[in-house]
Structure 1
Amino acid sequence: MRIKPNPKSQKPSFVPRSILQTLEKLKQALEPNAEHKVVEEFRASRQRTISSLRYLVILFIVPLLVNILFKTFIIQPWIDKYWSQEPSEIFLNSSQEERALTELKIFERKIKFEVLLEKAPELSSNIVEQRVKDQAIALSQKYKTESIDAVANVFADILSLLSFIILCVFGKQQLTTIQFFSADLIYGLSDSAKAFFIILATDIFVGYHSTYGWEIILENTFFIILATDIFVGYHSTYGWEIILENTSKHFGLPENKSLILLFIATVPVVMDTIFKYWIFRYVNRSFPSAVATYHNMNE
């Protein structure tokens, strides 16, 4: 059903609307209780700010505490008890097994290399075999603990998500206050500040600057990944690979390089398209001068 526009709202006026708004503000400022109204508005704004910040802290702290407490005292001990009944169960996936074999091979080669460099005494084959066996036992315990931790992370994160959803469902009034607080905060920023945060968001998540120049300058130093991620954002393949690989380890998922590269090749592009559409559709309508500043800063 189409809503007809109100003809009164479209009625032309002989006096410009900006002048009428200025006169209205002047009238409000000259009222006898204008100072009292300003103080009351300031107190209400301060109360909204305090309430918003308090609830934001609750939204962050409560799911975090649920995750830590349930994982430490309930989930992990229960999984550890169950896992101990299956001594043969060590690895959750083939990626863990490959990493363990790689570490074991490196350990064995390191022993032989130190002997060849005369940094260690000559060892018999039995001693070398025993050391490799001890290392294999240590690695099995390490990856068994990693597997238990990954399974516990799944259940703990689900509980954290549920606690967050419950807080959002039962705190609709507080969320509305946060929404108004965020709107006031955004509208209070200058056009340059709005453009700066837009550029910062696009560069961190969906930018496409090259990292090769930084690699050539730094020449394979330890800080290549750190510098490229700081100066050209997580849109680089290094940053996305670190995030996705750590996420896979966190949940005990197999590390699939092809899937990671496919994600990097598609998801940032989709994010960039959505972000540009958002700027064109909404930001350009609400903050046209900020969008103009954004384009000038980007050039």
Structure 2
Amino acid sequence: MKYWNLKRNNQFAFEKVGPIPRSITNTFEKFRKELDPNGESEAIEEFRLSRHQTITSVKYILLLLISPVLVNQASKFFVFGPCIDYLWNQEQPKIFLNSSQEERAFAELQRFEEKIHFEVLLNPSEDISYEIIEKRVQLKARELGEYYANESANAVKNILSDILSITVFILLMITGQRQISIVKSFLNEIIYGLSDTAKAFLIILFTDMFVGFHSPHGWEVIIEVILRHLGLPESRDFIFLFISTFPVILDTIFKYWIFRYLNQVSPSAVATYHNMNE
């Protein structure tokens, strides 16, 4: 019973934010424990609790990360892959799922044809007829057709396997409420246990990476990869709209977290962050 009381107190300490900074309360709590005659037994129980919390958190985080990936790959190669390939070869649908694939294929074929003509101009002594050039272009067109047909089939496989892996992830989150509470307490303990300089460094690193002035280029690459992964059209209007709104929303949420939680838990870390960011 005492073990679980300590556990609840530990979770409460790292999940609730009070009016007094936690650094001050932790100092008084540490001083009180040093004067407590039962401090040694409590320290042993706290160590056992911390070890149990760490082991449980690491196991559950690995489970959340590895299980959806394994389900995704296994379902893609052993379930959805053979079915999609069979249907794709039987019905012989269109090569392109969207206009973006078609534009990329045409651009690549055009570059290939221009490269051939450039090589002919560089070597006028070689006797290359128009039929040979046309044949090479046709072979390249067939190669591109096979490539984009496979890309379209892979996009369908990716959608189905991603849906299944997301379902598995949600089920793990729903059935693991107790483990999630332990993981939250574990992460809070790690984050709030860092030094002020480390907190400020991580804040600056995170903000510059995801909401900084150079982050739009990274978001553009990420969105293009995701759209291509799912076989969706790479709409420039959608990408620019996402880049102009999502980082702003993310920056607002992050600033609210600094003002609402970090400023009360560790005001010195916030001051260090402002000094480093100036």
- Pairing 1:257-276 to 2, within 5 Å after superposition: 257-276=236-255
Q: Shift of the alpha carbon at 1:258? A: 2.0
261-270 vs 135-144, greater mean Cα deviation: 261-270
TM-score (norm 2): 0.85
Deviations 1:39-83, CA, capped at 9 Å, x for gaps: 232122112101110111111010000000000111121111111
138-147 vs 82-91, greater mean Cα deviation: 82-91
Amino acid aligned to 1:248: L
Per the alignment, residue 171 of structure 2 pairs with 166
For residues 149 and 73 of structure 2, the distance between their equivalents in structure 1, rounded to whole angstroms, comes to 20
8 Å contact from structure 1 (residues 151, 251) kept in 2 = yes
Deviations 1:98-129, CA, capped at 9 Å, x for gaps: 11111111111111111111188331111111
Instruction: Please tell me whether residue 59 in structure 1 is matched to residue 59 in structure 2.
Output: no
Q: Any idea what SS the aligned residue of 1:294 has? A: helix
The correspondence for 2:74, drawn from 53, 69, 77, is 69
Instruction: Flag the 1:65–1:19 CA change in 2: closer, same or farther, 3 A.
Output: closer
For residues 257 and 21 of structure 1, the distance between their equivalents in structure 2, rounded to whole angstroms, comes to 56
Instruction: Flag the 1:123–1:283 CA change in 2: closer, same or farther, 3 A.
Output: same
Quick check: which one's helix share is greater?
2
Amino acid aligned to 1:40: E
For residues 125 and 162 of structure 2, the distance between their equivalents in structure 1, rounded to whole angstroms, comes to 47
Q: Any idea what SS the aligned residue of 2:91 has? A: coil
Q: Shift of the alpha carbon at 1:162? A: 0.5
Q: Shift of the alpha carbon at 1:274? A: 2.2
Instruction: Flag the 1:255–1:119 CA change in 2: closer, same or farther, 3 A.
Output: farther
Q: Any idea what SS the aligned residue of 1:85 has? A: helix
Per the alignment, residue 248 of structure 1 pairs with 227
TM-score (norm 1): 0.80
Deviations 1:242-284, CA, capped at 9 Å, x for gaps: 1111111000011111221222122212221222122122221
Per the alignment, residue 120 of structure 2 pairs with 115
Instruction: Flag the 1:98–1:26 CA change in 2: closer, same or farther, 3 A.
Output: closer
Per the alignment, residue 142 of structure 2 pairs with 137
117-126 vs 47-56, greater mean Cα deviation: 117-126
Instruction: Flag the 1:119–1:53 CA change in 2: closer, same or farther, 3 A.
Output: farther
Per the alignment, residue 48 of structure 2 pairs with 43
Instruction: Flag the 1:34–1:283 CA change in 2: closer, same or farther, 3 A.
Output: closer
For residues 31 and 226 of structure 2, the distance between their equivalents in structure 1, rounded to whole angstroms, comes to 58
Deviations 1:217-245, CA, capped at 9 Å, x for gaps: xxxxxxxxxxxxxxxxxx1x321221111
Give 5+ residue unaligned stretches, structure 1: 1-16, 210-234
The correspondence for 2:189, drawn from 184, 187, 197, is 184
The correspondence for 2:107, drawn from 98, 102, 108, is 102
For residues 105 and 71 of structure 1, the distance between their equivalents in structure 2, rounded to whole angstroms, comes to 33
For residues 84 and 142 of structure 2, the distance between their equivalents in structure 1, rounded to whole angstroms, comes to 21
Instruction: Flag the 1:113–1:174 CA change in 2: closer, same or farther, 3 A.
Output: same
8 Å contact from structure 1 (residues 154, 251) kept in 2 = yes
Amino acid aligned to 1:295: H
8 Å contact from structure 2 (residues 76, 157) kept in 1 = yes
Instruction: Please tell me whether residue 80 in structure 1 is matched to residue 85 in structure 2.
Output: yes
For residues 146 and 110 of structure 1, the distance between their equivalents in structure 2, rounded to whole angstroms, comes to 25
Superposition RMSD on alpha carbons, in Å? 2.1
